[in-house]
Protein backbone atom coordinates (compact mmCIF):
# COMPACT_ATOMS: atom_id res chain seq x y z
CA UNK A 1 0.00 0.00 0.00
CA UNK A 2 1.36 3.41 -1.03
CA UNK A 3 1.76 6.19 1.57
CA UNK A 4 0.00 9.49 1.20
CA UNK A 5 1.87 11.83 -1.11
CA UNK A 6 3.07 15.23 0.05
CA UNK A 7 0.26 16.73 -2.03
CA UNK A 8 -2.20 15.33 0.54
CA UNK A 9 -3.05 17.89 3.24
CA UNK A 10 -2.89 16.61 6.81
CA UNK A 11 -5.01 17.97 9.65
CA UNK A 12 -4.18 17.75 13.35
CA UNK A 13 -6.82 18.58 15.94
CA UNK A 14 -5.41 19.52 19.33
CA UNK A 15 -2.44 21.87 19.55
CA UNK A 16 -0.98 20.74 22.85
CA UNK A 17 2.47 19.18 23.13
CA UNK A 18 1.41 15.99 21.36
CA UNK A 19 -0.70 17.60 18.64
CA UNK A 20 1.93 20.22 17.86
CA UNK A 21 4.56 17.49 17.71
CA UNK A 22 2.50 15.47 15.24
CA UNK A 23 1.95 18.60 13.12
CA UNK A 24 5.72 19.16 13.07
CA UNK A 25 6.34 15.56 11.95
CA UNK A 26 3.85 15.87 9.07
CA UNK A 27 5.23 19.28 8.01
CA UNK A 28 8.80 17.98 8.09
CA UNK A 29 7.65 15.24 5.69
CA UNK A 30 6.51 17.95 3.26
CA UNK A 31 2.74 18.05 3.85
CA UNK A 32 0.53 21.10 4.16
CA UNK A 33 -0.74 20.85 7.74
CA UNK A 34 -3.90 22.37 9.20
CA UNK A 35 -3.65 22.79 12.98
CA UNK A 36 -6.88 23.28 14.92
CA UNK A 37 -7.66 23.72 18.61
CA UNK A 38 -10.92 24.84 20.23
CA UNK A 39 -9.05 27.13 22.62
CA UNK A 40 -8.62 30.67 21.33
CA UNK A 41 -5.10 31.23 20.05
CA UNK A 42 -3.94 27.70 20.92
CA UNK A 43 -3.26 26.67 17.32
CA UNK A 44 -1.06 29.69 16.69
CA UNK A 45 0.64 29.13 20.03
CA UNK A 46 1.33 25.55 18.96
CA UNK A 47 2.92 26.78 15.75
CA UNK A 48 5.04 29.27 17.69
CA UNK A 49 6.14 26.49 20.05
CA UNK A 50 7.35 24.48 17.06
CA UNK A 51 9.17 27.56 15.76
CA UNK A 52 10.85 28.18 19.11
CA UNK A 53 12.07 24.59 19.45
CA UNK A 54 13.39 24.36 15.91
CA UNK A 55 15.02 27.79 16.11
CA UNK A 56 17.36 26.32 18.68
CA UNK A 57 18.49 23.80 16.05
CA UNK A 58 19.07 26.63 13.60
CA UNK A 59 21.09 28.54 16.21
CA UNK A 60 23.26 25.47 16.76
CA UNK A 61 23.82 25.00 13.03
CA UNK A 62 21.82 21.77 12.93
CA UNK A 63 19.10 23.17 10.68
CA UNK A 64 19.00 25.72 7.89
CA UNK A 65 16.93 28.89 8.50
CA UNK A 66 15.40 28.61 5.05
CA UNK A 67 14.29 25.04 5.80
CA UNK A 68 12.70 26.20 9.06
CA UNK A 69 10.86 29.04 7.33
CA UNK A 70 9.54 26.63 4.68
CA UNK A 71 8.41 24.15 7.34
CA UNK A 72 6.55 26.80 9.32
CA UNK A 73 4.90 28.06 6.13
CA UNK A 74 3.38 24.60 5.69
CA UNK A 75 1.68 24.73 9.13
CA UNK A 76 -1.54 26.71 8.96
CA UNK A 77 -3.44 27.43 12.20
CA UNK A 78 -7.19 27.36 11.56
CA UNK A 79 -10.27 28.04 13.66
CA UNK A 80 -13.16 26.11 12.06
CA UNK A 81 -13.74 22.41 11.38
CA UNK A 82 -15.18 23.36 8.00
CA UNK A 83 -11.65 24.34 6.91
CA UNK A 84 -10.60 20.67 7.08
CA UNK A 85 -12.60 19.63 4.01
CA UNK A 86 -9.43 19.25 1.91
CA UNK A 87 -7.57 17.04 4.40
CA UNK A 88 -6.83 13.48 3.33
CA UNK A 89 -5.80 12.43 6.83
CA UNK A 90 -7.15 13.95 10.05
CA UNK A 91 -5.40 13.06 13.32
CA UNK A 92 -7.16 13.97 16.54
CA UNK A 93 -5.00 14.49 19.62
CA UNK A 94 -7.55 15.90 22.05
CA UNK A 95 -8.55 15.01 25.60
CA UNK A 96 -8.82 11.30 26.49
CA UNK A 97 -12.60 11.25 26.80
CA UNK A 98 -14.73 8.77 24.87
CA UNK A 99 -17.79 10.97 24.48
CA UNK A 100 -15.83 14.07 23.42
CA UNK A 101 -13.84 12.12 20.86
CA UNK A 102 -17.00 10.46 19.49
CA UNK A 103 -18.64 13.85 19.10
CA UNK A 104 -15.63 15.17 17.20
CA UNK A 105 -15.55 12.15 14.90
CA UNK A 106 -19.23 12.61 14.10
CA UNK A 107 -18.58 16.23 13.14
CA UNK A 108 -15.59 15.21 11.01
CA UNK A 109 -17.69 12.74 9.06
CA UNK A 110 -19.93 15.61 8.06
CA UNK A 111 -17.04 17.86 7.02
CA UNK A 112 -14.44 15.57 5.45
CA UNK A 113 -14.65 13.77 2.13
CA UNK A 114 -15.66 10.12 2.08
CA UNK A 115 -12.09 9.19 1.14
CA UNK A 116 -10.49 10.97 4.09
CA UNK A 117 -8.94 8.80 6.78
CA UNK A 118 -9.74 9.70 10.39
CA UNK A 119 -7.08 8.77 12.93
CA UNK A 120 -7.06 8.93 16.71
CA UNK A 121 -3.93 9.39 18.79
CA UNK A 122 -5.62 7.85 21.82
CA UNK A 123 -3.35 5.95 24.17
CA UNK A 124 -6.05 4.17 26.15
CA UNK A 125 -9.51 4.32 24.55
CA UNK A 126 -10.73 1.47 22.36
CA UNK A 127 -10.62 2.35 18.66
CA UNK A 128 -13.56 -0.03 18.23
CA UNK A 129 -15.58 1.91 20.81
CA UNK A 130 -14.70 5.24 19.20
CA UNK A 131 -15.94 4.04 15.83
CA UNK A 132 -19.08 2.31 17.06
CA UNK A 133 -21.41 5.25 16.25
CA UNK A 134 -19.71 6.35 13.05
CA UNK A 135 -21.39 6.09 9.68
CA UNK A 136 -18.23 4.66 8.16
CA UNK A 137 -16.15 3.13 10.99
CA UNK A 138 -13.85 1.45 8.48
CA UNK A 139 -12.11 4.80 7.91
CA UNK A 140 -11.14 5.15 11.59
CA UNK A 141 -7.73 3.93 12.73
CA UNK A 142 -5.51 4.47 15.73
CA UNK A 143 -2.28 6.36 15.06
CA UNK A 144 -0.62 6.43 18.46
CA UNK A 145 2.51 8.61 18.59
CA UNK A 146 4.81 8.76 21.59
CA UNK A 147 5.88 11.96 23.29
CA UNK A 148 7.76 13.92 22.08
CA UNK A 149 6.43 12.96 18.66
CA UNK A 150 9.26 14.53 16.59
CA UNK A 151 11.88 12.51 18.51
CA UNK A 152 10.21 9.20 19.35
CA UNK A 153 10.36 6.71 16.49
CA UNK A 154 7.40 4.49 17.34
CA UNK A 155 3.87 4.80 15.95
CA UNK A 156 1.31 2.18 16.95
CA UNK A 157 -1.20 1.69 14.13
CA UNK A 158 -4.32 0.37 15.84
CA UNK A 159 -7.01 -1.56 14.04
CA UNK A 160 -10.49 -1.40 15.51
CA UNK A 161 -12.95 -4.18 14.79
CA UNK A 162 -14.32 -2.28 11.78
CA UNK A 163 -11.08 -0.63 10.55
CA UNK A 164 -10.45 -1.58 6.94
CA UNK A 165 -7.18 -3.29 6.09
CA UNK A 166 -6.56 -0.73 3.36
CA UNK A 167 -6.86 2.18 5.79
CA UNK A 168 -4.52 0.56 8.34
CA UNK A 169 -1.98 -0.32 5.66
CA UNK A 170 -1.99 3.19 4.20
CA UNK A 171 -1.50 4.81 7.60
CA UNK A 172 1.29 2.33 8.33
CA UNK A 173 3.00 3.22 5.03
CA UNK A 174 2.53 6.93 5.69
CA UNK A 175 4.09 6.68 9.16
CA UNK A 176 7.07 4.85 7.65
CA UNK A 177 7.34 7.54 4.97
CA UNK A 178 7.51 10.13 7.75
CA UNK A 179 10.58 8.39 9.15
CA UNK A 180 8.79 6.56 11.94
CA UNK A 181 8.90 2.90 12.93
CA UNK A 182 5.25 1.77 12.73
CA UNK A 183 3.82 -1.39 14.22
CA UNK A 184 0.34 -2.83 13.82
CA UNK A 185 -1.80 -3.81 16.79
CA UNK A 186 -5.39 -4.72 17.51
CA UNK A 187 -7.58 -2.50 19.65
CA UNK A 188 -7.06 -4.08 23.05
CA UNK A 189 -6.47 -2.29 26.38
CA UNK A 190 -3.06 -0.64 26.42
CA UNK A 191 -2.35 -1.70 22.82
CA UNK A 192 1.28 -2.94 22.83
CA UNK A 193 3.49 -0.59 24.82
CA UNK A 194 1.14 0.47 27.61
CA UNK A 195 0.24 -3.16 28.22
CA UNK A 196 3.59 -4.92 27.91
CA UNK A 197 5.46 -2.24 29.89
CA UNK A 198 3.37 -2.61 33.06
CA UNK A 199 5.78 -5.09 34.73
CA UNK A 200 8.73 -2.72 34.25
CA UNK A 201 7.15 -0.35 36.75
CA UNK A 202 5.32 -2.95 38.81
CA UNK A 203 8.31 -5.08 39.83
CA UNK A 204 10.44 -2.17 41.03
CA UNK A 205 7.44 -0.76 42.90
CA UNK A 206 6.82 -4.11 44.57
CA UNK A 207 10.48 -4.50 45.54
CA UNK A 208 10.40 -1.02 47.05
CA UNK A 209 7.24 -1.84 48.99
CA UNK A 210 8.93 -5.04 50.22
CA UNK A 211 11.91 -2.96 51.39
CA UNK A 212 14.35 -4.88 49.22
CA UNK A 213 16.35 -1.65 48.93
CA UNK A 214 15.75 2.04 48.16
CA UNK A 215 14.54 3.64 44.93
CA UNK A 216 17.94 5.05 43.92
CA UNK A 217 19.55 1.63 44.22
CA UNK A 218 16.80 -0.12 42.29
CA UNK A 219 17.06 2.47 39.51
CA UNK A 220 20.83 2.08 39.37
CA UNK A 221 20.56 -1.71 39.11
CA UNK A 222 18.01 -1.49 36.30
CA UNK A 223 20.22 0.97 34.39
CA UNK A 224 23.71 -0.30 35.09
CA UNK A 225 22.98 -4.03 35.02
CA UNK A 226 19.78 -4.21 32.97
CA UNK A 227 20.86 -1.78 30.28
CA UNK A 228 17.63 0.23 30.43
CA UNK A 229 17.84 3.96 29.74
CA UNK A 230 16.12 4.86 33.02
CA UNK A 231 14.98 3.07 36.14
CA UNK A 232 11.30 2.75 36.98
CA UNK A 233 11.32 5.54 39.58
CA UNK A 234 13.19 8.01 37.39
CA UNK A 235 10.85 7.23 34.52
CA UNK A 236 7.59 7.50 36.48
CA UNK A 237 8.80 10.78 37.98
CA UNK A 238 9.32 11.99 34.40
CA UNK A 239 5.97 10.68 33.09
CA UNK A 240 4.02 11.92 36.11
CA UNK A 241 2.60 9.58 38.73
CA UNK A 242 -0.94 10.72 38.06
CA UNK A 243 -0.56 9.68 34.42
CA UNK A 244 1.32 6.44 35.05
CA UNK A 245 -1.00 5.34 37.86
CA UNK A 246 -4.07 6.17 35.76
CA UNK A 247 -2.79 4.06 32.85
CA UNK A 248 -2.04 1.12 35.16
CA UNK A 249 -5.48 1.40 36.76
CA UNK A 250 -7.14 1.63 33.34
CA UNK A 251 -5.39 -1.50 32.06
CA UNK A 252 -6.11 -3.31 35.36
CA UNK A 253 -9.82 -2.52 35.18
CA UNK A 254 -10.03 -3.20 31.45
CA UNK A 255 -8.72 -6.72 32.05
CA UNK A 256 -11.28 -7.34 34.79
CA UNK A 257 -8.81 -6.82 37.65
CA UNK A 258 -6.26 -9.37 36.41
CA UNK A 259 -3.54 -9.35 39.09
CA UNK A 260 -0.83 -9.07 36.43
CA UNK A 261 -1.75 -5.39 36.20
CA UNK A 262 -2.36 -4.69 39.89
CA UNK A 263 -1.63 -1.00 40.66
CA UNK A 264 0.86 -0.13 43.39
CA UNK A 265 -0.17 1.24 46.79
CA UNK A 266 3.18 3.05 46.91
CA UNK A 267 2.36 4.97 43.74
CA UNK A 268 -1.23 5.55 44.83
CA UNK A 269 0.02 7.27 47.97
CA UNK A 270 2.31 9.54 45.93
CA UNK A 271 -0.64 10.58 43.76
CA UNK A 272 -2.81 11.25 46.79
CA UNK A 273 -0.04 13.38 48.30
CA UNK A 274 0.33 15.39 45.11
CA UNK A 275 3.89 14.17 44.65
CA UNK A 276 3.55 13.67 40.93
CA UNK A 277 7.22 13.76 39.97
CA UNK A 278 9.17 16.39 38.08
CA UNK A 279 6.12 18.51 37.27
CA UNK A 280 5.25 18.95 40.97
CA UNK A 281 8.85 19.13 42.17
CA UNK A 282 8.65 15.95 44.21
CA UNK A 283 8.10 12.29 43.41
CA UNK A 284 10.41 9.50 44.39
CA UNK A 285 13.11 12.15 44.09
CA UNK A 286 13.25 15.81 45.08
CA UNK A 287 13.50 18.21 42.14
CA UNK A 288 13.79 21.43 44.11
CA UNK A 289 16.66 23.71 43.13
CA UNK A 290 19.86 22.48 44.74
CA UNK A 291 18.41 19.10 45.75
CA UNK A 292 20.82 16.19 45.40
CA UNK A 293 19.73 12.82 44.06
CA UNK A 294 20.60 10.05 46.55
CA UNK A 295 23.43 7.69 45.70
CA UNK A 296 22.71 3.96 45.23
CA UNK A 297 23.74 1.59 47.99
CA UNK A 298 27.09 0.11 47.02
CA UNK A 299 29.13 -2.46 48.91
CA UNK A 300 32.39 -1.22 50.39
CA UNK A 301 35.65 -2.45 48.91
CA UNK A 302 36.25 -6.04 49.97
CA UNK A 303 39.36 -8.18 49.93
CA UNK A 304 39.77 -11.93 49.68
CA UNK A 305 42.83 -14.14 49.85
CA UNK A 306 41.36 -16.55 47.32
CA UNK A 307 42.71 -16.08 43.81
CA UNK A 308 40.98 -18.92 42.02
CA UNK A 309 37.42 -19.15 40.75
CA UNK A 310 36.08 -22.67 40.42
CA UNK A 311 33.40 -23.02 37.75
CA UNK A 312 31.29 -26.14 38.16
CA UNK A 313 29.51 -27.16 34.97
CA UNK A 314 27.81 -24.81 32.51
CA UNK A 315 27.33 -21.37 34.10
CA UNK A 316 24.71 -20.41 31.47
CA UNK A 317 24.30 -16.64 31.10
CA UNK A 318 27.07 -16.18 33.69
CA UNK A 319 29.61 -17.44 31.13
CA UNK A 320 30.20 -13.83 30.01
CA UNK A 321 30.89 -12.88 33.62
CA UNK A 322 33.39 -15.74 33.97
CA UNK A 323 35.18 -14.51 30.84
CA UNK A 324 35.29 -10.97 32.21
CA UNK A 325 36.72 -12.21 35.52
CA UNK A 326 39.35 -14.23 33.66
CA UNK A 327 40.34 -11.14 31.66
CA UNK A 328 40.61 -9.27 34.98
CA UNK A 329 43.28 -11.67 36.18
CA UNK A 330 41.20 -14.17 38.16
CA UNK A 331 42.45 -17.74 37.69
CA UNK A 332 39.70 -20.08 36.46
CA UNK A 333 39.40 -23.81 37.15
CA UNK A 334 36.61 -25.71 35.41
CA UNK A 335 35.08 -28.97 36.58
CA UNK A 336 31.81 -30.86 36.32
CA UNK A 337 28.91 -29.73 38.44
CA UNK A 338 25.54 -27.95 38.59
CA UNK A 339 26.60 -24.56 37.20
CA UNK A 340 27.84 -22.93 40.39
CA UNK A 341 30.82 -20.65 40.97
CA UNK A 342 33.09 -21.02 44.00
CA UNK A 343 35.34 -18.25 45.27
CA UNK A 344 36.71 -18.31 48.80
CA UNK A 345 33.77 -19.14 51.07
CA UNK A 346 31.18 -17.92 48.55
CA UNK A 347 29.06 -20.19 46.40
CA UNK A 348 27.55 -18.12 43.60
CA UNK A 349 24.73 -18.90 41.18
CA UNK A 350 22.37 -17.03 38.87
CA UNK A 351 18.97 -16.42 40.45
CA UNK A 352 16.27 -18.87 39.36
CA UNK A 353 13.37 -16.95 40.93
CA UNK A 354 13.67 -18.41 44.42
CA UNK A 355 14.91 -16.59 47.49
CA UNK A 356 18.54 -17.34 48.30
CA UNK A 357 17.55 -18.66 51.72
CA UNK A 358 14.99 -21.05 50.20
CA UNK A 359 17.39 -22.32 47.57
CA UNK A 360 20.25 -22.69 50.08
CA UNK A 361 18.01 -24.92 52.18
CA UNK A 362 16.80 -26.98 49.22
CA UNK A 363 20.32 -27.48 47.85
CA UNK A 364 22.07 -27.87 51.23
CA UNK A 365 24.38 -24.99 50.39
CA UNK A 366 24.48 -22.49 53.24
CA UNK A 367 26.94 -19.98 51.77
CA UNK A 368 24.84 -19.36 48.67
CA UNK A 369 25.00 -15.93 47.06
CA UNK A 370 22.62 -15.29 44.18
CA UNK A 371 23.57 -13.03 41.28
CA UNK A 372 21.10 -10.95 39.33
CA UNK A 373 20.74 -10.96 35.56
CA UNK A 374 22.66 -8.43 33.48
CA UNK A 375 21.90 -7.45 29.90
CA UNK A 376 25.60 -7.72 29.10
CA UNK A 377 27.88 -9.08 31.82
CA UNK A 378 30.89 -7.95 29.78
CA UNK A 379 29.86 -4.30 30.17
CA UNK A 380 27.65 -4.15 33.29
CA UNK A 381 28.98 -1.64 35.81
CA UNK A 382 26.77 -2.80 38.68
CA UNK A 383 25.24 -6.09 39.78
CA UNK A 384 22.72 -6.94 42.47
CA UNK A 385 23.30 -9.84 44.84
CA UNK A 386 21.16 -11.50 47.50
CA UNK A 387 22.64 -13.68 50.23
CA UNK A 388 21.00 -16.57 52.01
CA UNK A 389 20.31 -15.88 55.66
CA UNK A 390 22.35 -19.02 56.36
CA UNK A 391 25.43 -17.56 54.62
CA UNK A 392 28.41 -16.35 56.58
CA UNK A 393 29.58 -12.76 56.42
CA UNK A 394 32.84 -14.06 54.94
CA UNK A 395 30.93 -15.61 52.04
CA UNK A 396 29.26 -12.26 51.31
CA UNK A 397 32.62 -10.50 51.54
CA UNK A 398 34.21 -12.97 49.12
CA UNK A 399 31.37 -12.59 46.59
CA UNK A 400 31.74 -8.81 46.66
CA UNK A 401 35.52 -9.07 46.33
CA UNK A 402 35.18 -11.30 43.27
CA UNK A 403 32.87 -8.96 41.41
CA UNK A 404 34.89 -5.92 42.38
CA UNK A 405 37.96 -7.52 40.77
CA UNK A 406 36.16 -7.04 37.45
CA UNK A 407 35.30 -3.42 38.26
CA UNK A 408 31.66 -4.18 39.05
CA UNK A 409 29.90 -2.17 41.77
CA UNK A 410 27.89 -4.47 44.02
CA UNK A 411 24.46 -3.64 45.44
CA UNK A 412 23.36 -6.13 48.06
CA UNK A 413 19.57 -6.18 48.37
CA UNK A 414 17.36 -7.99 50.83
CA UNK A 415 16.69 -11.62 49.98
CA UNK A 416 13.73 -11.39 47.60
CA UNK A 417 12.66 -13.82 44.85
CA UNK A 418 14.17 -13.15 41.43
CA UNK A 419 16.25 -10.14 42.53
CA UNK A 420 15.70 -7.08 40.29
CA UNK A 421 16.63 -7.34 36.60
CA UNK A 422 15.79 -11.04 36.31
CA UNK A 423 12.23 -10.68 37.59
CA UNK A 424 11.72 -7.53 35.52
CA UNK A 425 12.85 -9.19 32.28
CA UNK A 426 10.93 -12.39 33.04
CA UNK A 427 7.65 -10.56 33.64
CA UNK A 428 8.13 -8.30 30.61
CA UNK A 429 8.72 -11.34 28.40
CA UNK A 430 5.74 -13.07 29.98
CA UNK A 431 3.39 -10.20 29.22
CA UNK A 432 4.80 -9.87 25.71
CA UNK A 433 4.23 -13.60 25.18
CA UNK A 434 0.63 -13.27 26.32
CA UNK A 435 0.09 -10.35 23.95
CA UNK A 436 1.48 -12.42 21.07
CA UNK A 437 -0.69 -15.39 22.04
CA UNK A 438 -3.82 -13.24 21.91
CA UNK A 439 -2.95 -11.73 18.54
CA UNK A 440 -2.43 -8.19 19.81
CA UNK A 441 0.60 -7.91 17.51
CA UNK A 442 3.26 -10.05 15.93
CA UNK A 443 6.33 -11.16 17.89
CA UNK A 444 8.58 -8.86 15.85
CA UNK A 445 6.23 -5.87 16.19
CA UNK A 446 5.99 -6.33 19.96
CA UNK A 447 9.77 -6.30 20.28
CA UNK A 448 10.12 -3.34 17.92
CA UNK A 449 7.48 -1.40 19.88
CA UNK A 450 9.29 -1.86 23.18
CA UNK A 451 12.65 -0.86 21.72
CA UNK A 452 11.45 2.09 19.61
CA UNK A 453 8.79 3.29 22.05
CA UNK A 454 10.65 2.92 25.34
CA UNK A 455 14.30 2.50 24.35
CA UNK A 456 14.58 -0.98 25.85
CA UNK A 457 18.03 -2.50 25.23
CA UNK A 458 16.35 -5.53 23.63
CA UNK A 459 12.85 -6.65 22.77
CA UNK A 460 11.52 -8.85 25.60
CA UNK A 461 10.77 -11.82 23.32
CA UNK A 462 14.19 -11.72 21.66
CA UNK A 463 15.69 -11.37 25.15
CA UNK A 464 13.73 -14.46 26.19
CA UNK A 465 15.16 -16.39 23.25
CA UNK A 466 18.68 -15.25 24.11
CA UNK A 467 18.30 -16.48 27.70
CA UNK A 468 16.27 -19.55 26.81
CA UNK A 469 12.56 -20.01 27.47
CA UNK A 470 13.36 -22.71 30.03
CA UNK A 471 15.17 -20.22 32.30
CA UNK A 472 12.42 -17.61 32.26
CA UNK A 473 9.73 -20.26 32.69
CA UNK A 474 11.57 -21.55 35.75
CA UNK A 475 11.95 -18.02 37.18
CA UNK A 476 8.25 -17.26 36.70
CA UNK A 477 7.19 -20.61 38.18
CA UNK A 478 9.29 -19.96 41.27
CA UNK A 479 7.95 -16.41 41.58
CA UNK A 480 4.41 -17.74 41.39
CA UNK A 481 5.19 -20.32 44.07
CA UNK A 482 6.84 -17.71 46.30
CA UNK A 483 3.96 -15.24 46.14
CA UNK A 484 1.06 -17.60 45.51
CA UNK A 485 -0.29 -15.17 42.92
CA UNK A 486 -1.47 -15.50 39.33
CA UNK A 487 0.50 -12.32 38.64
CA UNK A 488 3.48 -14.52 37.82
CA UNK A 489 1.77 -17.40 36.03
CA UNK A 490 3.79 -18.33 32.94
CA UNK A 491 2.04 -17.34 29.72
CA UNK A 492 0.78 -20.29 27.69
CA UNK A 493 3.02 -19.50 24.72
CA UNK A 494 6.11 -19.22 26.93
CA UNK A 495 5.18 -22.50 28.60
CA UNK A 496 4.74 -24.21 25.23
CA UNK A 497 8.10 -22.93 24.03
CA UNK A 498 9.77 -24.21 27.18
CA UNK A 499 8.55 -27.79 26.64
CA UNK A 500 9.07 -27.67 22.87
CA UNK A 501 12.58 -26.33 23.52
CA UNK A 502 12.09 -23.56 20.99
CA UNK A 503 12.03 -19.79 20.93
CA UNK A 504 9.72 -17.06 19.70
CA UNK A 505 11.86 -16.58 16.60
CA UNK A 506 12.53 -20.24 15.85
First to last CA, the chain: 29
Find out whether 77 and 47 touch, Cβ atoms under 8 Å.
Answer: yes
Query: Which 3 state secondary structure label does DSSP give 439?
Result: coil
> Three-class SS string for 160-202?
CCCCCHHHHHHHHHHHHHCCCEEEEEECCCCCCHHHHCHHHHH
Query: Which 3 state secondary structure label does DSSP give 340?
Result: strand
CA distance 344 to 142: 58
For the chain, domains (ranges, CATH) are 10-187 (3.40.50.720), 195-280 (1.10.1040.50), 308-412 (3.30.750.190)
Q: Is the dihedral of CA 465, 468, 474, 479 positive or negative?
A: negative
Q: How confident is the model at residue 237 (pLDDT cuts 50, 70, 90)?
A: very high
- The whole-chain average pLDDT of the chain stands at 96
What local confidence, expressed as pLDDT, does residue 189 receive?
94
Q: Is the pLDDT of residue 124 over 90?
A: no
Backbone angles phi, psi at 383, to 5 degrees: -145, 140
CA distance 503 to 506: 5
What local confidence, expressed as pLDDT, does residue 305 receive?
87
Q: Is the pLDDT of residue 469 over 90?
A: no
Find out whether 23 and 12 touch, Cβ atoms under 8 Å.
Answer: yes
Q: Is the pLDDT of residue 239 over 90?
A: yes
Sheet holding 346-350, edge to edge: 331-335, 308-312, 340-343, 346-350, 368-371, 382-387, 409-412
Find out whether 230 and 424 touch, Cβ atoms under 8 Å.
Answer: no
CA distance 413 to 387: 8
Q: Is the pLDDT of residue 1 over 80?
A: no
What local confidence, expressed as pLDDT, does residue 379 receive?
97
Q: What does the pLDDT average to over 263-291?
A: 96
CA distance 386 to 264: 24
Q: Is the peptide bond before 148 cis (omega within 30 degrees of 0)?
A: yes
- Residue 412 CA, distance from chain mean position: 25
- The pTM score is 0.95
User: 292-301, pLDDT tens digit by residue?
Assistant: 999 999 999 9
User: 75-112, pLDDT tens digit by residue?
Assistant: 999 999 999 999 999 999 999 999 999 999 999 999 99
CA distance 119 to 112: 13
Percent of the chain surpassing pLDDT 70:
100
* 455 Cβ contact list (under 8 Å, min separation 6): 228, 229
Q: How confident is the model at residue 306 (pLDDT cuts 50, 70, 90)?
A: confident
CA distance 91 to 109: 13
What local confidence, expressed as pLDDT, does residue 330 receive?
96
Q: Is the pLDDT of residue 307 over 90?
A: no
User: 322-381, pLDDT tens digit by residue?
Assistant: 999 999 999 999 999 999 999 999 999 999 999 999 999 999 999 999 999 999 999 999
User: 417-452, pLDDT tens digit by residue?
Assistant: 999 999 999 999 999 999 999 999 999 999 999 999
Find out whether 132 and 101 touch, Cβ atoms under 8 Å.
Answer: no
> Three-class SS string for 464-489?
HHHHCHHHHHHHHHHHHHHHCCHHHC
User: 127-161, pLDDT tens digit by residue?
Assistant: 999 999 999 999 999 999 999 999 999 999 999 99
What local confidence, expressed as pLDDT, does residue 464 receive?
97
Max CA-CA distance within the chain? 81
β strands within 272-428, DSSP E: 308-312, 331-335, 340-343, 346-350, 368-371, 382-387, 409-412
What local confidence, expressed as pLDDT, does residue 142 receive?
98
What local confidence, expressed as pLDDT, does residue 319 receive?
97
Amino acid sequence: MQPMTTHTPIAVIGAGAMGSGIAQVAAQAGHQVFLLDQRDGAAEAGRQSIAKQLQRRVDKGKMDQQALDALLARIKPIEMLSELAEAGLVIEAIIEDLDIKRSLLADLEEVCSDNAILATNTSSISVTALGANMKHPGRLVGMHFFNPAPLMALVEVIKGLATSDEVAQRVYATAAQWGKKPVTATSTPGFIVNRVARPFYAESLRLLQEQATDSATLDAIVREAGGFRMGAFELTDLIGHDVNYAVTSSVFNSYYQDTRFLPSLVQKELVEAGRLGRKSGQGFYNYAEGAQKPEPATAAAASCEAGTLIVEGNPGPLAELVTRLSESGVKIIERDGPGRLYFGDAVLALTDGRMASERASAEACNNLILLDLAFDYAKASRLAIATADQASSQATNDACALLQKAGIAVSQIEDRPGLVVMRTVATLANEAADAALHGVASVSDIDLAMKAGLNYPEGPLRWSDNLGSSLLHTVLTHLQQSYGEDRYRPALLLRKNRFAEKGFYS
